[in-house]
Amino acid sequence: MTEQMTSQHAQSDSWHLGLFMHMPRMSRLEVLENTLIQVDALGSIVSLTRPDEPEYTERLHTARRSGALTEMSSQQMMIPGLVDLHVHAPQWPQLGKALHLPLQDWLNHYTFPLEARYQDIDFARQVYPSLVRALLANGTTTAMYFATVHEEATELLAATCLALGQRAYVGRVAMDDPQQCPDYYRDSDAQAAVAASERSIHAIRQLSGNQNQLVKPVITPRFIPSCTNDLLAGLGELAARHQCHVQTHCSESDWEHDYVLNRLGKTDTQALADFGLLNRHTVLAHSNFITDSDMGRIQEAGSGIAHCPLSNSYFADSVFPLRRALDKSLRVGLGTDIAGGHSASLFNTCQHAVASSRMLESGVDARLPAAERGQANARINFLEAFYLATAGGADVLDSPTGLFEPGRQFDALLLDLDCPENRLNEFTRANDWEDLLGCVVYNTQPCNIGRVWIDGRCVHG
């Protein structure tokens, strides 16, 4: 593999040659063999040339001459970078911890005290680079982050993503309701919270080196229960004024869904719409308990959903009706929900998305007759999960990534299929593309992720 590429990045085009797989639509796997992809200095895909095209020989010659060609071996392939729509960045130090505790204990004894520590910027400096590096090593090229209430640490997270080259959406968390937030960790009041969120939007947009907006700010009410109505209304105005993304939790659990119904007399989705927080740039985490009418409203607004199957098994009392949402043309992507989910890997998330969709379809209680046990036609397969983790997630964010096609930014993973610690294709026949992608989705580990590019720039490996 040519190693001059990164150094030449700023100056000229780079090239990638070999096997690419991606999914232009949920039902369509496209395999590009011996294909040559040209990426310009800004990371945009300029051309994609197959061997049977007349320009192939000439372009290949140019690529080789450039000294900026990444040539894959027969044991390598590339897929689009993975998009993680829901990460609680400050919870990284508690990955895999205390998940057996009831939610209230998990929050009050682990999560809130941990998040409060980011008041100390040195603690944030210790954690955030570790998190972003780990996500890159797991193939996550785009992440949508909840930070904490702290402006300085939130800006540090954004700056860390920028410095390490990760495409990111970073939100200062707004939470002001004394009924639901601990005294030691909340905004003092709605007005102060809105002002802090607005300053955070400016700070992230104006970060040094962020002229291409690789890192974007996100308006982030934690969830309705932790925000007063004044705060939610203020954040809605902020969203309209700044045209930036919005993220929050939506109808995640019985408790949360019922709490909002009791407090506001409507569902989370209706309430968010009424507060001006449901639009094309909104990402709703979980949404397990949304009604058919909520689905219609979300679809009309063009909002997206971050499906987090692993954390749902811990905290959501149910499985998100993914197939139903997809059938209604909702835009959906996947989230690890670190640290309500215990894995940093979107491949792992794909595995749980498939497994939980099948459990929703079959049901779980063997004592019930089969016909009464589950929801018919609820399953998704690994191809659909892979779509959600790549092009689907990119679509939710209106991000020009997730596919290999001219005009998109080159966010990609180079997979080493035959890595000695984990062989993905040892017994796969050449050209059995679905089988090979199955092995990738079901079993890729960080050791198989040889290199990672974002905006055409090699950021890992």
Is 106 an interacting residue with respect to a copy of itself (CB under 8 A)? no
Point out which span in 157-165, 179-187, 355-363, 403-411 binds a copy of itself (CB under 8 A): 355-363
Point out which span in 2-10, 12-20, 64-72, 86-94 binds a copy of itself (CB under 8 A): 86-94
Nearer to a copy of itself, 206 or 443 (CB): 443
Q: Name the E strands within 240-281.
A: 245-250
Nearer to a copy of itself, 219 or 346 (CB): 346
What part of residues 119-138 is at the interface with a copy of itself (CB under 8 A)? 127, 130, 134, 137
What part of residues 316-335 is at the interface with a copy of itself (CB under 8 A)? 316-321
Nearer to a copy of itself, 263 or 373 (CB): 373
Q: Among 229, 362, 400, 450, which residue sits at the site for a copy of itself (rule: CB under 8 A)?
A: 362
**Closest to 92 (Cα-Cα) out of 118, 69, 72, 67:** 118
Q: How many Å apart are CA 173 and CA 124, to the nearest integer?
A: 15
Is 430 an interacting residue with respect to a copy of itself (CB under 8 A)? no
Nearer to a copy of itself, 38 or 91 (CB): 91
State the minimum distance, in angstroms, from the CB of residue 113 to a copy of itself. Answer: 13
For residues 142 and 333, the answer to whether their CB atoms sit within 8 Å is no
Q: How many Å apart are CA 327 and CA 329, to the nearest integer?
A: 5
Residue 232 tokens read as 């939610």
Q: How many Å apart are CA 417 and CA 420, to the nearest integer?
A: 9
Measured CA distances, 333 to 180, 304, 398, 436 (Å): 29, 8, 12, 22
State the minimum distance, in angstroms, from the CB of residue 423 to a copy of itself. Answer: 8
Q: Among 54, 183, 426, 431, which residue sits at the site for a copy of itself (rule: CB under 8 A)?
A: 426
Is 439 an interacting residue with respect to a copy of itself (CB under 8 A)? yes
Cβ neighbours around 427 below 10 Å, total: 8
Is 184 an interacting residue with respect to a copy of itself (CB under 8 A)? no
Nearer to a copy of itself, 58 or 292 (CB): 292
State the minimum distance, in angstroms, from the CB of residue 430 to a copy of itself. Answer: 14
Is 390 an interacting residue with respect to a copy of itself (CB under 8 A)? no
- What residues have CB less than 8 Å from 301, skipping those under 6 apart? 273, 278, 279, 280, 282
Q: Among 342, 405, 433, 461, which residue sits at the site for a copy of itself (rule: CB under 8 A)?
A: 342
- What residues have CB less than 8 Å from 265, skipping those under 6 apart? none
Point out which span in 149-157, 220-228, 378-386, 452-460 binds a copy of itself (CB under 8 A): 378-386
Residue 233 tokens read as 């209304």
Which residue's entry shows tokens 């709703």?
284
Point out which span in 43-51, 159-167, 177-185, 368-376 binds a copy of itself (CB under 8 A): 368-376
Nearer to a copy of itself, 49 or 148 (CB): 148
Which residue's entry shows tokens 């002229």?
211
The angle formed by the CA atoms of residues 246, 275 and 257, to the nearest 5 degrees, is 80
**Closest to 346 (Cα-Cα) out of 166, 135, 76:** 135
- What is the total count of residues that contact a copy of itself (CB under 8 A)? 63
- What residues have CB less than 8 Å from 428, skipping those under 6 apart? 435, 436, 439
Point out which span in 36-44, 61-69, 93-101, 206-214 binds a copy of itself (CB under 8 A): 93-101
User: Which uninterrupted H or E stretch holds 33?
Assistant: strand 28-39
Point out which span in 67-75, 160-168, 224-232, 438-446 binds a copy of itself (CB under 8 A): 438-446
State the minimum distance, in angstroms, from the CB of residue 241 to a copy of itself. Answer: 35
Q: How many Å apart are CA 239 and CA 212, to the nearest integer?
A: 21
Let me know if 324 is exposed, middle or buried by CB neighbors in 10 A (0-12, 13-18, 19+): middle
Nearer to a copy of itself, 4 or 291 (CB): 291
Measured CA distances, 125 to 92, 95, 140 (Å): 13, 18, 20
Ramachandran class of 419: left when φ > 0, alpha when ψ lies in -120 to 50, beta otherwise: beta
Q: Among 211, 427, 430, 431, which residue sits at the site for a copy of itself (rule: CB under 8 A)?
A: 427
Is 160 an interacting residue with respect to a copy of itself (CB under 8 A)? no
Beta strands at 167-171 and 215-221: parallel, antiparallel or unpaired: parallel
Which residue's entry shows tokens 């949508």?
144
State the minimum distance, in angstroms, from the CB of residue 162 to a copy of itself. Answer: 22
Is 359 an interacting residue with respect to a copy of itself (CB under 8 A)? yes
State the minimum distance, in angstroms, from the CB of residue 364 to a copy of itself. Answer: 4
* Residue 275-304 contact track with a copy of itself, rule CB under 8 A, x = bound: -------------xx---------------
Query: Which residues contact a copy of itself (rule: CB under 8 A)?
Result: 92-100, 127, 130, 134, 137, 254, 288-289, 310, 313-314, 316-321, 342-343, 351-352, 354-356, 358-360, 362-367, 370, 373-375, 381-383, 421-423, 426-428, 435, 438-439, 441-443, 445-447
